């Protein structure tokens, strides 16, 4: 039986003799393995990015907005109907056992001015429950108090982007900004959250007490009207229960009959983001499958070149058999050469995938997370390709008759 190390040495020697041809043969494997590693790395990076964005908006979130839902989504937006009040948020927080907190929201985009700087941003009136619901911590300063909420105090908490555009590097606490010509004192600055899953800058925001927004800044067409209610369930397992309790409570509170259309919509934000992640997983799998086709093409190339090699080395095979070589030795020898060829391509593809992932991450700003498991599987698959597509040429070589092989020109 042929020694494995001897067979490996002979295989490497055969590849060196026809180096350029071997390199071109490996190209399909190189591209396939590299593409698989790159696609998996980009997909893993995207999932990590989505995970960060999910964590950035808070956990166990439910949004209640005005307007009836339809099959295709929300039929009427929050600016079209006026059905939610801050008392609805208070009732949800008190009466729904699966709910931890509920924060009412009322606001609009407005011009904010400080000195000679002005910035157009989203100004949101809310209660101090909003920040724990969003799991948004204060960077320095404080959030507004319950007393300031009751008294419609003219105070504000800034997001990082709003602070930067209004104050630059200056210390903002205690300074006055003007929102729609109303002077408001800055009492806190929030830690940065980054982009939302929709790509919005979450830090480009100013927060004021709810009553301040309703009565001092923007006014309300209807008494105590709000745009939406942001609700946090106690546990992720209780989100469905919380949705049901909110729906039943508001249906009763708004006196909606059995056959009447509801004037509010309850949205599960976690489900929306999970759907986005599921779509990403499907796309990653599809792209990985397309990349794997290159491995198949590379395997066909290996079979082709090994058949050519068998034809070119027919006399060599005959000599080996004439001096005592067995058919099994010839079979193993050519299988080793096919596996070496595919594994060499796999290693080169691995390097290509790692470098490609790094370059992609640096140039696009999109994270790419390399998976050792994916790399190992891709390399193992390249070896399997070598065995699968190299078996027929190796078997053909092992079945040659020694006398006919020696007489081959």
Strand partners, 104: 229
Identify which of 274, 276, 272, 256 has the alpha carbon closest to the alpha carbon of residue 264: 256
Q: What is the largest CA-CA distance in the chain?
A: 106
Are 45 and 119 in a shared domain? no
The pLDDT tens digits of the residues spanning 204-246 come to 999 999 999 999 999 888 878 899 999 999 888 888 899 999 9
* DSSP states along 154-172: -EEEE-HHHHHHHHTTS--
In a domain, 60, yes or no: no
Are 34 and 121 in a shared domain? no
In a domain, 140, yes or no: yes
* E runs forming strands in 262-394: 264-268
Q: Which residue ranges of the chain lie beneath pLDDT 70? A: 1-19, 50-59, 68-82, 197-199, 269-277, 280, 284, 287-288, 291-292, 311-315, 317, 323-325, 400-409
Which domain covers residue 226, as residue numbers?
99-232
How many CB atoms neighbour CB 378 within 10 A?
Answer: 26
In a domain, 16, yes or no: yes
Are 223 and 318 in a shared domain? no
Are 191 and 303 in a shared domain? no
| Domain end among 179, 213, 232 | 232
Identify which of 353, 280, 382 has the alpha carbon closest to the alpha carbon of residue 35: 353
DSSP character at residue 366: -
- Coil, strand or helix at 96: coil
Are 46 and 117 in a shared domain? no
Are 226 and 289 in a shared domain? no
In a domain, 84, yes or no: no
| Domain end among 232, 251, 267 | 232
Are the C-beta atoms of residues 15 and 340 closer than 8 Å to each other? yes
**Six-digit token string for 104:** 């009412």
In a domain, 266, yes or no: no
pLDDT of residue 407: 57
- What's the rounded Cα separation, in Å, for the pair 263 and 82? 9
In a domain, 399, yes or no: yes
In a domain, 151, yes or no: yes
Are 279 and 387 in a shared domain? yes
Are 197 and 109 in a shared domain? yes
Identify which of 2, 11, 7 has the alpha carbon closest to the alpha carbon of residue 344: 11
How many CB atoms neighbour CB 404 within 10 A?
Answer: 10
pLDDT of residue 71: 43
Q: Degrees (nearest 5) of the Cα angle 220, 81, 259?
A: 140
Are 227 and 281 in a shared domain? no
The pLDDT tens digits of the residues spanning 116-136 come to 999 999 999 999 999 999 889
Identify which of 89, 373, 22, 371 has the alpha carbon closest to the alpha carbon of residue 227: 89
Q: Which residue has the tokens 């092992």?
A: 398
In a domain, 249, yes or no: no
Are 287 and 227 in a shared domain? no
Are 49 and 105 in a shared domain? no
- What's the rounded Cα separation, in Å, for the pair 155 and 75? 35
Tell me how many domains the chain contains.
Answer: 2
Are 282 and 366 in a shared domain? yes
């Amino acid at each position: 039986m042929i020694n494995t190390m001897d067979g490996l040495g002979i295989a490497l020697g055969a590849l060196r003799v026809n180096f350029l041809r071997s390199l071109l043969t490996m190209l399909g494997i190189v591209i396939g393995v590299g593409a698989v590693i790159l696609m998996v790395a980009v997909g893993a990076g995207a999932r990590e990015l989505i995970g960060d964005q999910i964590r950035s908006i808070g956990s166990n979130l439910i949004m209640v907005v005005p307007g009836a839902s339809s099959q295709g989504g929300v039929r009427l937006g929050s600016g079209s109907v006026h059905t939610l009040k801050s008392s609805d948020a208070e009732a949800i927080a008190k009466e729904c056992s699966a709910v931890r907190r509920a924060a009412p929201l009322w606001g609009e985009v407005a011009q904010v001015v400080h000195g000679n700087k002005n910035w157009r941003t989203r100004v949101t009136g809310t209660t101090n429950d909003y920040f724990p619901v969003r799991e948004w911590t204060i960077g320095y300063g404080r959030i507004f108090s319950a007393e300031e909420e009751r008294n419609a105090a003219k105070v504000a908490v800034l997001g990082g982007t709003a602070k930067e555009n209004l104050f630059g590097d200056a210390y903002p606490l205690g300074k006055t900004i003007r929102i729609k010509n109303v002077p408001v004192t800055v009492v806190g600055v929030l830690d940065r959250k980054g982009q939302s899953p929709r790509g919005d800058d979450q830090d480009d925001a100013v927060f004021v007490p709810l009553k301040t927004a309703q009565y001092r800044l923007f006014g309300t067409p209807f008494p105590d009207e709000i745009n939406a209610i942001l609700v946090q369930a106690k546990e992720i397992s209780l989100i469905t229960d919380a949705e049901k309790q909110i729906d039943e409570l508001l249906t009763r509170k708004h006196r909606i009959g059995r056959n009447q259309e509801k004037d509010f919509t309850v949205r599960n934000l976690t489900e929306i983001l999970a759907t986005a992640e599921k779509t990403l997983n499907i796309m990653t799998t599809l792209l990985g499958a397309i990349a794997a086709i290159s491995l198949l093409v590379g395997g066909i190339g290996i079979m082709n070149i090994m058949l050519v090699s068998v034809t070119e080395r027919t006399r060599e095979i005959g000599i080996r058999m004439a001096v005592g070589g067995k058919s099994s030795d010839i079979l193993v020898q050519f299988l080793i050469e096919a596996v070496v060829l595919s594994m060499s391509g796999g290693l080169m593809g691995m390097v290509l995938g790692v470098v490609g992932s790094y370059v992609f991450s640096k140039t696009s700003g999109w994270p790419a997370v390399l998976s050792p498991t994916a790399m190992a599987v891709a390399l193992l698959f390249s070896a399997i390709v070598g065995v699968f597509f190299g078996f027929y040429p190796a078997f053909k070589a092992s079945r040659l008759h020694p006398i006919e092989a020696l007489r081959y020109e």
